[in-house]
Structure 1
């Protein structure tokens, strides 16, 4: 890439791009092998997807009314664009009340394992070691994180639903047509409300899950990028995922493949946001490189160990003078080309 910066037209633009925070974020992702991390998140999320929905639906069935559960199911379907109809979330929610205590505990354990896997992937982006400590204590901590994640998701969905409902009622009271300018303004308002809900959720994921404390401004920027990107992904990939799920060549695997694609896109976006928070600003990164170079220079050289075979060194006496003036002759005088070292002997 360095050679491309010397091109006559695009070189300056590439040089500027390579010094931006976005480019250095991508370099960090490439350094930590983010495709492998995204694959790990995709697999564990796919395994834990239906158990987590079942546990959440069971809790919701015991605490929420039917209308509230229907609204929650609608918001959940909106988070999976294009394939929510094929997943049959309604049947899953209706049968969630039959989940027993033992089955609920097993499903909760699956969710805790998913939280642990996601946390380690995010810590890998930060280039941190695995969280040390007692494994049992870690599981308990992951359980609290899972409960907190569910609470934040529930609050964000509720805020989004209430705001969207309020905007719709106001539009109907005023009489704004759906296909006119007012309708587009309502859609933009709904988009911004959804971005706000995703923003709250990502702020929790980027800080509490990896157990890090990045600057608040960096977290806000990364969460905003992730929230807007997530909503744009839902808009752009809705028809694509629907086509993948409906392809006859995949048969019964069409819906799982589409769901895997959606989870993978979401995982990569989450990893990029995490790398954004983990990448220091340009000035700080330059100072860190200077500090590392100075630290390498300041390290003292290791003293040479005395040889075991050699005895104690004896003090050497004064050197004998080699010339008439008592000064040693230069080495050059001894090796003059074409001249003898001393005067010719007398006959």
Structure 2
């Protein structure tokens, strides 16, 4: 049992497992920025369709921020964000798609590197770039569909009322 654990650890280290793990973590964190852009765009659409919510936010800013210059700056920033919601959302979706496909590619390469019998790849193992991106795109869409189907099935934290 211990010998197997030692061999598995050595193989993981020989195959640059830590570096692949760090790369996947880096791309995962980097993907958070476009996801936040899409979230802010969605909030902008909600605020644009409900002006009373926007006015409520402005009144709370004026109540809680003592410096009138800062309050004005915050109000202008929120107004600009609401006005630019479509652009921010589309750019965020584009960047999220690009970074998501690259994240899937890095994950695929890391798993393949760990599971190959021989560390080095042969030149004939190289696949066409468009085929690689298409496979990663389909994998990403499949992952998103699986996650979206799973989310409604999660148990509710609040028990239903009778």
* Normalised TM-score (structure 2): 0.55
What is the CA-CA distance between 1:52 and the residue it aligns to? 3.7
Distance 1:148 1:57 in 2: 25
Distance 1:116 1:125 in 2: 14
Contact 2:24 2:106 (C-alpha < 8 Å) held by counterparts? yes
What is the CA-CA distance between 1:53 and the residue it aligns to? 4.9
What is the CA-CA distance between 1:107 and the residue it aligns to? 3.3
Q: Is 2:38 the counterpart of 1:44?
A: no
Consecutive unaligned residues of structure 1, counting only runs of 5 or more, are 1-15, 63-90, 174-347
Distance 1:23 1:157 in 2: 38
SS of the equivalent of 1:169 reads: coil
Give the greater-gyration-radius structure (CA).
1
What is the CA-CA distance between 1:110 and the residue it aligns to? 2.0
Distance 2:20 2:156 in 1: 35
Q: What is the aligned partner in structure 2 of residue 107 from structure 1?
A: 96
Give the total of aligned pairs: 120
Q: Is 2:121 the counterpart of 1:138?
A: no
What is the CA-CA distance between 1:135 and the residue it aligns to? 0.7
Q: Structure 2 vs 1, CA of residues 102 and 51 (structure 1 numbering), >3 Å: closer, same or farther?
A: closer
1:167-222 CA distance string (max 9 Å, x none)? x416x76xxxxxxxxxxxxxxxxxxxxxxxxxxxxxxxxxxxxxxxxxxxxxxxxx
Q: Is 2:110 the counterpart of 1:121?
A: yes
Q: Structure 2 vs 1, CA of residues 31 and 137 (structure 1 numbering), >3 Å: closer, same or farther?
A: same
Q: Is 2:130 the counterpart of 1:147?
A: no
Higher helix fraction (1 or 2): 2
SS of the equivalent of 2:159 reads: helix
What is the correspondence of 1:1-347 to structure 2 with a 5 Å cutoff?
A: 16-19=1-4, 22-55=5-38, 98=86, 99-127=88-116, 129=121, 132-160=126-154, 163-165=155-157, 168-169=158-159
Q: Structure 2 vs 1, CA of residues 126 and 52 (structure 1 numbering), >3 Å: closer, same or farther?
A: farther
Contact 1:52 1:108 (C-alpha < 8 Å) held by counterparts? no
Q: Structure 2 vs 1, CA of residues 35 and 146 (structure 1 numbering), >3 Å: closer, same or farther?
A: same
SS of the equivalent of 1:164 reads: coil
Larger RCO, structure (CA 8 Å, separation 6 or more): 2
Contact 1:111 1:146 (C-alpha < 8 Å) held by counterparts? yes
Distance 2:159 2:27 in 1: 40
Q: Structure 2 vs 1, CA of residues 17 and 103 (structure 1 numbering), >3 Å: closer, same or farther?
A: closer
